[in-house]
Amino acid sequence: MANRSKLVFSLLLLPLLLTTISAQTTKLAPNFYRTTCPNVESIVRSAVRQKFQQTFVTAPATLRLFFHDCFVRGCDASVLLASANGNNEKDHPDDISLAGDGFDTVIKAKAAVDSNPQCRNKVSCADILALATREVVQLTGGPFYTVELGRRDGRISTKAGVQRQLPHPNFNLDQLNTMFARHGLSQTDMIALSGAHTIGFAHCGKFSKRIFNFTPRNPVDPTLNFQYAMQLRQMCPRNVDPRIAINMDPNTPRTFDNVYYKNLQRGMGLFTSDQVLFSDRRSRNTVNLFASSNGAFNQAFVAAMTKLGRVGVLTGNRGEIRRDCTRQN
């Protein structure tokens, strides 16, 4: 009798157990919203294009926002959460320079999605950020790629959580590889994702040491093209407002292309972490490949972005679908 009771209890528990396992192992899929919000991609595309027409900064700001979100607690839109006490991810020194236009792009796209009665409160801010990122890459001349969907929004966002989670401009190759490997990203992925700097901009304070006081013997970093260093000194003179920003790709700053890698071959990587990709022999061949073939770069970038988009995602019954991207429900 006791055994029969156990069997009945087990059978009653089985559906609950299977539901829990299913909810926790739900995988991302491109057609995740096919029944709940079938037009989500076109709605986000339209909103992002409208924002992009207002300001080009939409593109680099959104792309950087996605990267910063995924590298801290995974791609869960936790970077978007605001706090009254200034203690969230976006308040950390590494995130304070994230341009407001990136946040505004996601908020506007979310509003557009939720204005459709069928879609209201069905699509996560994390997925909207991922879709918006794909749009800005394509709008600036980069590849169109399939975005996997089904992420849910995180409920946790802390300033402390950002500490030592994001690459710094002075990183060497080993530091870059170690940080990216933590998220299952290879050296090739890291080099391809660095190519996002093709439409990036940087504040003078982030590289001033390379052009003014690298070492007592070499005021200018010897891996930096000297003529380029002199141009940088003119754009970012000593004691300039450190918030002044300049283009990371001085040649085609508004086009998503492989010129970033051609610049590295000429010693024109703005950050140490850019130039090291060419100056270190272990990564130089990949830089040369991407410099010689925009197609090879695009292919590697899409593969790396797909892997990045899977980092630490919340699916199934974990997390939530935020009604307002800047606050928990």
The pairing of strands 201-203 and 245-247 is antiparallel
Task: Tell me if 269 is assigned to a ligand binding site.
Answer: no
Task: Tell me if 91 is assigned to a ligand binding site.
Answer: no
User: Which position among 68, 92, 168, 183 bears the catalytic label?
Assistant: 68
In this structure, the number of other CB atoms found within 10 A of the CB of residue 42 comes to: 9
Task: Tell me if 203 is assigned to a ligand binding site.
Answer: no
SS3 content of the chain, % helix, strand, coil (to 5): 55, 5, 45
Six-digit token pair at 69?
Answer: 């979100």
Q: Tell me if residue 68 is catalytic.
A: yes
192 contacts: CB under 8 Å, gap ≥ 6: 290, 297, 300, 301, 303, 304
Task: Tell me if 280 is assigned to a ligand binding site.
Answer: no
What are the residue ranges of helices labelled H in 73-186?
Answer: 100-114, 125-139, 173-181
Task: Tell me if 69 is assigned to a ligand binding site.
Answer: yes
Task: Tell me if 168 is assigned to a ligand binding site.
Answer: no
In the chain, count H helices and then E strands: 13, 2
Distance from chain centroid for Cα 316: 23
Six-digit token pair at 314?
Answer: 């919340």
Task: Tell me if 167 is assigned to a ligand binding site.
Answer: yes
Task: Tell me if 89 is assigned to a ligand binding site.
Answer: yes
Task: Tell me if 279 is assigned to a ligand binding site.
Answer: no
Residue 62 Cα distances to 20, 56, 227, 229, angstroms: 34, 11, 31, 28
Task: Tell me if 148 is assigned to a ligand binding site.
Answer: no
Name the binding residues for Ca(2+): 69, 72, 74, 76, 78, 89, 198, 249, 252, 257
Name the binding residues for heme b: 197
Name the binding residues: 69, 72, 74, 76, 78, 89, 167, 197-198, 249, 252, 257
Report the catalytic residues: 68
Name the binding residues for substrate: 167
